[in-house]
Structure 1
Amino acid sequence: MITRRAWSASLCALGAALVGCGAHGAQDAGLPERPGPSAATTASPASTASPSATPSRPPTLAPGPAGLTPVFTNGPRTGGKTVALTFDADMTADQGSRAAAGERFDNPELVATLRRLKVPSTVFMTGRWAEEYPDEARSLAQDPLFEIANHSYSHYAFTPDCYGLPTIGTARMRSDVERAFTAFRKAGVAHAMPYFRFPGGCYDDRALRELTPVGVTAVQWDVVSGDAFATDADAVAQQVLDGVRPGSVVVMHCTRSAAPATEKAVRTIVPELRDRGFRFVKVSELIGEEAGGRG
């Protein structure tokens, strides 16, 4: 049985500070098409298509034991030195007043750096973030360098005692995820990926069971960057460089007020890992490799 994961203590600071819809089906809510019952789907990632094209179905993992939502942590350790940088675009349902007062939950400088360095990336976005920054959400979605995935609508925790985050009730778990996909669609994100990252990385069997009808693959990580509220970019970069292995998924943040050192850290991380022979990929490519290995 999968039990609740207690992730690195370096996430505690982020969780402490980042504190309604019907039960519609995936199509009604604007979700990606749910995969069929095959072991895995290994089509080309959606972001390889032109913005105007209808993408092939993205790769996903088959349901876990007892039909629970599958959980992906990292790609294969053999077969190539690939690494996925992922960025959480965090904004909770109740932070609108802070945004109105001038706090910035986006990070255009980081996005510009990723584009300049040509780093494929996966952005796990909350629905509330997409509502606050629809132009940026749409721009990311239309850029083949990026893919957009779901980080819930509210950024409330799916288990109790998750780094101080408010907790969402069991009855609202599915609708919160679906509401985020709807917010993406309204912002102009036409082809969000069928991937979901739990706020704080906290989940249990109950949460996995509640999300099974949505048809997503839950995406965790194996490398914590420690960029949440960090001011020492060199320390963030070193933590990533020390932790990366072939197939790694690195969790970082693209929220300017909560992760002010991330952009500078990326300028160190990317060339160093490339010098070590690593190739940057989106999460969809790692999932495709993992799915293919299970076939």
Structure 2
Amino acid sequence: MAGGFLAGCTSAPDPAERSPEPSSPPGPGTAPTPSAARPSPAPPSPKPAPRVTRAATVARYGRMTPTGWGFTAPGVVTKLPSAAGRAIALTFDACGGPGGDGYDRELIDLLRTRKVPATLFLNARWIDANRAHFEQLASDPLFEIANHGTRHRPLSVSGRSAYGIAGTRDAGEVFDEVAGNQDKLTTLLGHPPRFFRSGTAYCDDIAARIVAELGERFAGFSVNADAGATFTPAQVRRAALTATAGSVVIGHMNHPAGGTAEGMARALPGLLAAGHRFVRLSDAVH
């Protein structure tokens, strides 16, 4: 499921558009499994290059015209490298803002109980509303903290929108969306985040180049597990079980009333039984 609803902070699509739900097996037990062992600490980020300024970004990219718009662009990570073998990267977004400041404790507890690592993309607004949760997540070596933008906006140099969310309007606003939360996370974590995902995961090719120039890898996805936290548990399970070796799975951790936690609890045993292991993006993408 490469597309689907991804806004994570807006209203759900019409239930009539959803696929029929399959029957689901019982959820997993709580015993940790060897194939999902707690990872070693993430490798330190390389020493950052001299900071690119907003003025330099506007001067370099302000007159460029994008040629693409969507979930992929040159440099966007949608699959793990082949050297990762049967690894799967679970990634969960926390969008923040009205309707998006929740904390899915059940999902995080599930990952901790089963010792499944994940990369967590946190928006600046969500961090401000959940500072205590942020500090607990940032101190847990099971998780990697990544940049989900300052205002949760689709990343565009021409003002394109996605799911009714207005995108950044020019190269300067792209810089603000990436660098604002990058600065916040650098201060809080003591090092810059390695990965960025825009609000809705949409970008154009010029905006993706700006992300790279700011020293972060743009993370896309290959499996949409919860359609912006609108899927039922059965739908989440079914979507997650489509993951194969090298998949980057996207879900949401800011909608505790959604089906993400229960659906992932139903899916994890099947993925582990198929011989997959789970990694943070930094464990496989260098």
Same fold per superposition (TM over 0.5): yes
Unmatched tracts of structure 2, length 5 or more: 13-38, 49-60, 62-72
Higher helix share: 1
Which structure 2 residues correspond to residues 201-220 of structure 1 after superposition, within 5 A? 201-220=201-220
Q: Does the 8 A contact of 1:247 with 1:286 survive in 2?
A: no
Could you tell me how far 1:70 is from its partner in structure 2? Answer: 2.5
Deviations 1:185-225 (A, max 9, x none): 45x33345311112212111221233343111101011111
Indicate how the Cα distance of structure 1 residues 221 and 268 shifts in structure 2: closer, same or farther if over 3 A, else same: same
Residue of structure 2 aligned with 1:57, choices 1, 26, 45 = 45
The one of 107, 123, 127 equivalent to 1:126 is: 123
Whether the aligned pair in 1 keeps the contact of 2:124 and 2:151 (CA below 8 Å) is: yes
Letter in 2 for 1:245: T
TM-score by length of 2: 0.72
SS in 1 for 2:44: coil
Contact 1:227 1:261 (8 Å CA) reproduced: no
Q: How does 1:209-288 map to 2 (within 5 A)?
A: 209-230=209-230, 232-241=232-241, 243-256=242-255, 260-288=258-286
Assess, with a 3 A threshold, how the Cα gap between structure 1 residues 153 and 207 changes in structure 2: closer, same or farther.
same
How many residues align structurally?
Answer: 232
Deviation at 1:49, TM superposition (A): 3.5
Structure 1 pair 59–275 and aligned structure 2 pair: CA distance change class (3 A): farther
What is the SS of the residue equivalent to 1:71?
A: coil
- Rounded Cα–Cα distance in structure 1 between residues aligned with 2:280 and 2:234: 24
- One-letter amino acid of the counterpart of residue 248, structure 2: V
Q: Could you tell me how far 1:227 is from its partner in structure 2?
A: 4.3
Q: Distance in 2 between matches of 1:120 and 1:279?
A: 9
Runs of 5+ unmatched residues, structure 1? 1-6, 19-46, 61-65, 289-295
TM-score normalised per structure 1: 0.70
CA distance in 2, matches of 1:59, 1:223: 32
Cα deviation, 1:73-100, whole Å, max 9, x if unaligned, reads 11134662110110001113xx3xx6xx
Residue 132 of structure 1, CA deviation:
0.9
- Of residues 84, 88, 95, the one that matches 2:89 is 84
- Separation in structure 2 between the aligned mates of residue 70 and residue 79 of structure 1, nearest angstrom: 18
Percentage of pairs with the same residue: 28
Equivalent pair of 1:109/1:263 in contact (CA under 8 Å):
yes
Question: In 1, Cα distance between the equivalents of 2:146 and 2:101?
Answer: 21
Q: Aligned to 2:189, what secondary structure does the other structure show?
A: coil
Q: 2:125 and 2:199 mapped to 1: Cα distance?
A: 13
Amino acid at match of 1:255: N
58 and 185 in structure 1: CA distance in 2 versus 1, 3 angstrom threshold? closer
Shift of 1:105: 1.8
Root-mean-square deviation (Å): 2.8
Cα distance change, pair 69–196 in 1 and its aligned pair in 2 (3 A) = farther
Residues 217 and 148 from structure 1, CA distance in 2 versus in 1: closer, same or farther, beyond 3 angstroms? Answer: same
Contact 2:211/2:218 (8 A) holds in 1? no
Distance 1:143 1:79 in 2: 23
Structure 1 residue 128: Cα displacement = 1.0
| Structure 2 CA distance for partners of 1:183 and 1:205, relative to 1, 3 Å | same
* Distance (whole Å) between structure 1 residues aligned to residue 273 and residue 192 of structure 2: 32
